[in-house]
Amino acid sequence: MAEKSFTHFDASGNANMVDVTDKAETFREAVAAGSVIMEADTLAMIAQGDHKKGDVLAVARIAGIQAAKKCSDLIPLCHPLMLTSVKLEFDIDRDNNAVHIRARCKLSGQTGVEMEALTAVSVAALTIYDMCKAVDKGMTVNNVRLVSKSGGRSGEWSAAS
C-alpha cells in the first residue's frame, strides 16, 4: 500500500478539490445504505404512518433527496454536479427494530456520486431521528456505507457482503 495517498492533498499537505478537468464524462451510479435502530414501539409508530397517522418516511425521503442536491455545499471538497436521478427506499425491519435506508444516485459526469448517495442516506436518517425523538431519544444511525458504485476511472466497486 506504499503508493497510496489521499487525493485531496497536494505535495505540501494542503487540502484542495481534486482537479477533474481532464477526466472523461462517463455514466456514474452509486448506491449507499444505512440503518436507524430504535425501540420496537417507535418502529411500530413509524410503520403505522402509511395509514394516515403521519408519514415519517415520506418526510425523510424528501429530506434525503434535497440533501443529495446539497452535497457539494456540505462536503467541502466535493465538486458541484448535476444529478439526473436520486431514489430513496426504506425498509421496515421488525426483527431488528430498524429502518433500513438505501439511496441510489446517477449522472453522466466527470466525478462520482458516492458522496451524494451517502449524504442522502445520512440526512434521511437524521430526519427520522428528528421526527421520532420526542418518543425515543436513544435511536442510533448505524452502518452508513457505500454499497456499490460504477463508472469513472476506478470502475465497478461493491462492498464485501
Q: Which residues are annotated as a binding site for substrate?
A: 77-79, 115-116
Query: Could you tell me the strand order of the sheet in which 26-37 lies?
Result: 26-37, 98-109, 85-93
Distance CA 139, CA 130 (A): 10
Neighbours of 109 (CB within 10 A): 21
Cell of 93: 425491519
Query: Can you tell me whether residue 106 is helix, strand or coil?
Result: strand
Cell of 104: 441510489
Kindly tell me which residue out of 26, 47, 92, 141 binds a copy of itself, with binding defined by CB under 8 A: 141
Q: How far is the CB of 55 from a copy of itself (least distance, A)?
A: 6
Size of the site for a copy of itself (CB under 8 A): 93
Please give the residues from 45 up to 104 whose contact with a copy of itself meets the rule CB under 8 A.
45, 49-50, 52-56, 58-59, 61-63, 65-67, 69-70, 72-89
Does residue 130 have an active-site annotation?
yes
Is residue 24 a contact residue for a copy of itself (CB under 8 A)?
no
Is residue 126 a contact residue for a copy of itself (CB under 8 A)?
yes
